[in-house]
Structure 1
């Protein structure tokens, strides 16, 4: 069952990578990609369906195998996404680009595996939900504001990080709803960070540095969820030197990826 879980998670990562590449291809080169305009593009919708399929397969894999096997397979989507995006833009990914993505993946796998598992149901008070949304919103706005003065690669990274923070808040809310009991008020709050995250991600994709934006999202989303879990849910954080080394490796890989990821504009594939 563990092998089956790993295979399903790997296939899910491929679907997730394909969806991200398709959505970035449609958003690339536009100054402010609106969701209404993107919703009229079949390839962007196909990308969304592929992402949903990847998420569903990941959930199935978690039901069949341990987290320590499934989560690293999820990180593989970064390594799948770069060649897929390059093919859509009519080029081949450079070796140093793939090498930098590999460094990011190794560091992120280390961080994911070092996070202690929490026991028991989770609970978040209404004040905790407001705190969650406020902190995530303020962080997202600050990152968005900072992106306006950054280089193209930096802008892609900051916008995607803003999206990752909002997706991390969304993931925290989902976990509370699943583990702590359904609450209609929480359900009303759930779409707010999710939709804002989607908008920020499309703006990051529009910049053109897909590798940077996708890597930043892959890093920020789970780490934000872990941080909110520790601050608001009392969940344990990893300790020791290994998490620090994994974080440094991830940061170094992201910087290298920012230097090697090409600036891509939208054009029809050959």
Structure 2
């Protein structure tokens, strides 16, 4: 069953990577990468369906095997996504680009495996929900504002990190709904960070540098969820030097991706690809 869970999670990662690559391709090709525009693009919708399928397979895998096996398989989506995105843009990924992605993936696997498992049901008071949404919103706005003053690669990274923070808040709120007390007010609050995260991610994709944006999303989402879990839910944080080394790997890999990942520009843009 463990091998089956790992295989299902790996296939789920492939679906997730395909969906992300398709959505990035459409966001780059669109002159206005807003949700209303992208929702009218069939390939972007197919990408969304692929991401949902990947998420569903990941849930199935978690029901069949341990978290320590399934979660690392999810990190493989970064290694799948780069070749798929490169093919869509009519190029081949370079060896340095894939090596940088491998470094990011190795660091992420380390971080995922080092996070202590939570015990017992989770609970978040209404004031805690407001704190969660407020902190995530402020962080997202600051990252969005900072993205306006940096290079295209930095813009992709900051916007994707902003999206990851909002997705991390969404994941934390979802955990409270599933593991703790079901509350209709929390359910109404759930779509707010999720929709904002999706909008921010499309802007990150539109900036080009798919590897940078996808890696930044993969890093920011789980780290934000872990941070919120520790601050608001009282969950333990990993300790020792190992998490620092894993975080350093992810940072080094992301910086390397920013230097090696080419800019995928709009076909009508004067900026050379």
User: TM-score scaled by structure 2?
Assistant: 0.97
Contact 2:31–2:266 (Cα < 8 Å) also in 1? no
Note the 1:230-241 alignment, pairs <5 A. Answer: 230-241=230-241
Q: Deviations over 1:53-96 (max 9, x none)?
A: 00000000000000000000000000000000000001000000
Q: Relative to 1, partners in 2 of residues 1:158 and 1:32: Cα closer, same or farther, differing over 3 Å?
A: farther
User: Equivalent residue for 2:84?
Assistant: 84
Q: Does 2:11 match 1:11? A: yes
User: Equivalent residue for 1:117?
Assistant: 117
User: Equivalent residue for 2:132?
Assistant: 132
User: Equivalent residue for 2:159?
Assistant: 159
- How far off its partner does 1:164 sit? 0.1
- How far off its partner does 1:31 sit? 5.7
- Could you tell me which runs of 5 or more consecutive residues in structure 1 were left unpaired when the two chains were aligned: none
- How far off its partner does 1:266 sit? 4.2
Q: Deviations over 1:5-50 (max 9, x none)?
A: 0000000000000000000000015464111110000000000000
- Could you tell me which runs of 5 or more consecutive residues in structure 2 were left unpaired when the two chains were aligned: 269-273
Note the 1:143-182 alignment, pairs <5 A. Answer: 143-182=143-182
Q: Does 2:34 match 1:34? A: yes
- How far off its partner does 1:148 sit? 0.1
Note the 1:157-236 alignment, pairs <5 A. Answer: 157-236=157-236
CA distance in 2, matches of 1:248, 1:158: 18
Contact 1:89–1:266 (Cα < 8 Å) also in 2? no
**Aligned with 2:149: secondary structure?**
coil
CA distance in 2, matches of 1:159, 1:29: 18
Displaced runs of 4 or more, over 2 A: 29-32, 265-268
Note the 1:100-115 alignment, pairs <5 A. Answer: 100-115=100-115
User: Equivalent residue for 2:271?
Assistant: none
User: Equivalent residue for 2:69?
Assistant: 69
CA RMSD of the aligned region, Å?
1.1
Contact 1:31–1:203 (Cα < 8 Å) also in 2? no
Q: Deviations over 1:146-177 (max 9, x none)?
A: 00001000000000000000000000000000
CA distance in 2, matches of 1:31, 1:242: 44
Q: Deviations over 1:231-266 (max 9, x none)?
A: 000000000000000000110000000000100024
CA distance in 1, matches of 2:184, 2:119: 25
CA distance in 1, matches of 2:118, 2:175: 12
CA distance in 1, matches of 2:20, 2:195: 16
Q: Deviations over 1:128-157 (max 9, x none)?
A: 000000000000000000000010000000
- How far off its partner does 1:181 sit? 2.4
- Which range moved further: 23-32 or 241-250? 23-32
CA distance in 2, matches of 1:3, 1:228: 32
Q: Relative to 1, partners in 2 of residues 1:229 and 1:31: Cα closer, same or farther, differing over 3 Å?
A: farther
CA distance in 1, matches of 2:18, 2:113: 25
User: Equivalent residue for 1:50?
Assistant: 50
**Aligned with 1:44: secondary structure?**
helix
**Aligned with 1:148: secondary structure?**
helix
Contact 1:33–1:202 (Cα < 8 Å) also in 2? yes
